[in-house]
Structure 1
Amino acid sequence: MESIITPQPHRLVSSGSEHPVQSSTPALAGTSDGGSSPPSHHLSTPEEISSFVDQMDTFIFDCDGVLWLGNDTIKGAPEFLHELVAKGKRIIYVTNNSSKSRKTYVGKFKKLGFPAEPDNIFGSAYAAAYYLKNMLNFPADKKVYVVGMQGIVDELAEMGIQAVGAGDDNAPLQETEFENGTLGPDESIGAVLLGFDSQINYRKYAKAFTYLTANKGKVHFLATNEDRTYPISGSIYPGTGSLLAALIHSVNRRPDAVLGKPSQNMMNTILERFHLDPARTCMVGDRLDTDIAFGKLGKLHTLLVMTGVTSVEERDAKKGPVTAEYWIESVGHLRQR
């Protein structure tokens, strides 16, 4: 049975402000010169919260660190989202976690008590598959080498794209494989896609390196996101961006595209699909550099919650690269009482 987390603001301490890889996301207007940013407004009274909710037609929620931590639900979060549905508000979930497909995520949402259907879930695995299929017109006779987990494989399959690697390459690399051709070039590989991978190993890095360097310019290099850390069950660990850094360094090449937040590839798909009015849409997240930047680049309202990785110091930094329009202790604090 899943446990309920009572919000304890700021208990997760960010592990630093330096990123292992330089982001490809454009700088937010008015913040690239190191100047002061407007401070976030704390939603602290019932009147302010009610007015804030009434102004919005759509709420876009990040998941990890916002609605739950691992399998632990943030107190009051499911109830608040059901209140939004009862008010006729649209709910969209956006996550950079690529370990699960949308269909798998529906099971988790419902198990934890959240209203959800596949069509209102946008994960970075789906965004990557959509990009390959619709933006790159990925050839049917080519395969994607996946450094990642089953969620990516499932979303690629939904798009009719062949995938190799992932769980099939979880076994440790043997010394003899350097000599027997196992790690050699493969002309059938048309793209390397890296996402979160709790089973990442040297075999996967070696294959991805070979495919990207043996056929320079012929193999697409994609990543689901560049999150530096991964919050789960009250702790933080290395995220996809940290795993990606090793591959970037070895091949001396940045990804051709990063598909998750704060990239606007995902935002454009959401806005077009649901015909949203940015002026009446709010992005709710726990990360300034991904969630809040994602919303601000899309010209949405932004709300920072303090149940994830952002520290008080980062939230209140006068010269921070990104600040949220509003902040609150947790999603549960938005409930109408």
Structure 2
Amino acid sequence: MAGAVSSRSCQKIRGAQIRELLDSKQSVLFDCDGVIWNGEKAVAGATDVVRLLKKRGKNVFFVTNNCTRPREKYVQKFSRLGFADVAQEDIFSSAYCSALYLRDVVKVRGKVFAIGGDGVHSELRDACVSFVEGDADDSGMSIVDCPLEPDVKAVLVGYDDRLTFLKLAKACCYLQNAECHFLATDPDPWHPLRQGRVTPGSGSLTAALETATGRKATVIGKPSRFMFECIASQFGVDPARSLMVGDRLETDILFGANCGMETLLTLTGVSTLQEAQGYVDSDAPDKKDLVPDYVVDSIADLLPLLEEDE
């Protein structure tokens, strides 16, 4: 089963099948929201799963499209929710990877116009990437009379719950320059909130700019390969011996498929087993990479097998 060429059969596994899968992997990559925690509450059993995987010598990484926090605040959240020994270098957020991309791949030689919050701004600052905050004080102005920075060489779009029309208009102006890079932290269209409410995600904001400019953004977060390339370059991780664990088919599971990893869907977040089965039954070839290799109700399903080795 594990280690063989994946059939992406959406197989619900338990017991010895989970053991075989874990034994075949050296690295486990977890999404956070909907997998490790929901809001300010850890998923039941998640703290012990992470602890025991590390105790067994597994590399454990956290890959999240949530760009609202810098990595240091993710470390604080892990600690607050009871996760021990999660280091900053274990965490790969879309904000952090976007900053690396601008610094090391684009090698931007000017300023970045950054739509986003503290997570985006802090990671750009830590990477020594010069940026203009999208929420600079232009109160009372319109795009006709507001000042524009003369040296903007890239536009980066992340989640921004204080988005204004003026921010979008400024980004449109900068992107009229064909040499201005256009990046998005992630493609997530929406995020679940409490009591059944949702909020538009970075992908929605990016889509508005793509429509206005006729340009396509380079996406840094999942399902793009770049986040895995960051991990592989820093830790020498082998995708064939890695498992991607996520709750969203269109980002987490597709990310794993794009990077050559086997994938495990948990049902504690966004996607459902019925949605995954729909992709299994689809005749569209491009839907097959959205099918997880394996499915569990929760990552707590891994716990009995890990506790046996205690």
Q: Shared fold by TM > 0.5?
A: yes
* Separation in structure 1 between the aligned mates of residue 126 and residue 20 of structure 2, nearest angstrom: 41
What is the match of residue 124 of structure 2?
156
Q: Percent identity?
A: 36
- For 2:143 and 2:261, the matched residues in 1 are separated by 50
**Deviation at 1:38?**
4.4
Mapped partners of 2:241, 2:56: distance in 1: 15
Match for 2:254: what amino acid?
A: A
Cα pair 1:76 1:331 within 8 Å, conserved: yes
> Which residue among 230, 233, 239 is the counterpart of 1:272?
233
Give 1:154 deviation, angstroms. 0.8
Equivalent residue for 2:199? Answer: 237
Aligned residue in 1 for 2:97: 127
Q: Which region of structure 1 is more displaced relative to structure 2, 127-136 or 310-319?
A: 310-319
CA distance in 2, matches of 1:92, 1:219: 32
What stretches of structure 2 of length at least 5 have no aligned partner?
1-6
Aligned residue number for residue 250 of structure 1: 212
Q: Please name the residue that 1:201 is paired with.
A: 164
For residues 234 and 130 of structure 1, what CA distance do their matches in structure 2 show?
36
Aligned to 1:93: 62
The verdict on how the C-alpha distance between 1:131 and 1:38 changes in structure 2, with shifts beyond 3 A counting, is closer
Could you say what secondary structure the match of 1:284 adopts?
A: strand
Distance (whole Å) between structure 2 residues aligned to residue 61 and residue 231 of structure 1: 18
CA distance in structure 2 between the partners assigned to 1:53 and 1:266 by the alignment: 22
Residue 191 in structure 1 maps to residue 160 in structure 2 = no
Counterpart of 1:316 in structure 2 is 277
SS in structure 1 at match of 2:33: coil
Mapped to 2, the partners of 1:65 and 1:42 lie a distance apart of 18
Aligned to 1:259: 220
The answer on 1:177 being equivalent to 2:142 is yes
Q: CA RMSD in A?
A: 1.8
1:330–1:166 Cα change, 3 Å: farther
Distance in 2 (CA, whole Å) between partners of 1:128 and 1:268 is 12
TM-score with structure 2 length normalisation?
0.88
Q: Match for residue 30 of structure 1?
A: none
Q: Which residue of 2 aligns with 1:32?
A: none
User: Which residue does the alignment assign to 2:4?
Assistant: none
2:299 aligned with 1:334? no
What SS does the aligned partner of 1:160 have?
Answer: coil
Q: Which structure 2 residues correspond to residues 71-110 of structure 1 after superposition, within 5 A?
A: 71-110=40-79
Cα shift at 1:241: 0.7
Which of 296, 299, 314 aligns to 2:257? It is 296
Q: Indicate the residue corresponding to 1:41 in structure 2.
A: 11
Determine the C-alpha separation between the residues in 2 that align with 1:187 and 1:222: 19
In structure 2, what is the equivalent of residue 144 of structure 1? 112
Structure 1 residues 20-39: aligned runs within 5 Å: 38-39=8-9
CA displacement at 1:271 relative to structure 2: 1.6
Shift in Å, 1:199: 1.3
| C-alpha separation in 2, matches of 1:289 and 1:104 | 26
Alignment of 1:57-68 (within 5 A): 57-68=26-37
Contact 2:71 2:88 in 1 (8 A): yes
Give me the whole-angstrom Cα distance separating, in 2, the residues matched to 1:106 and 1:189: 32
Gaps of 5+ in 1: 1-36
C-alpha distance in 2 between matches for 1:150 and 1:168? 13
- CA deviations on 1:158-212 (whole Å, 9 max, x unpaired) are 111112224545x7x53x5345x21x54312111100011111212111111211
Do the aligned residues in 2 keep the contact of 1:165 with 1:204 (CA within 8 Å)? Answer: no
Q: Structure 1 residues 232, 112: CA separation in 2 closer, same or farther (over 3 Å shift)?
A: farther
Per-residue CA deviation, residues 283-316 of structure 1 (Å, 9 max, x unaligned), is: 0001111111111111111100111111232111
Q: Residue deviations 1:19-67, cap 9 Å, x none?
A: xxxxxxxxxxxxxxxxxx74211113x2222222222111000111111
Distance 1:187 1:293 in 2: 38
TM-score of the superposition, structure 1-length normalised?
A: 0.81
Look up the SS of the partner of 2:142 in the other structure: helix
Distance 1:295 1:67 in 2: 17
The letter for the 2-side match of 1:43 is I
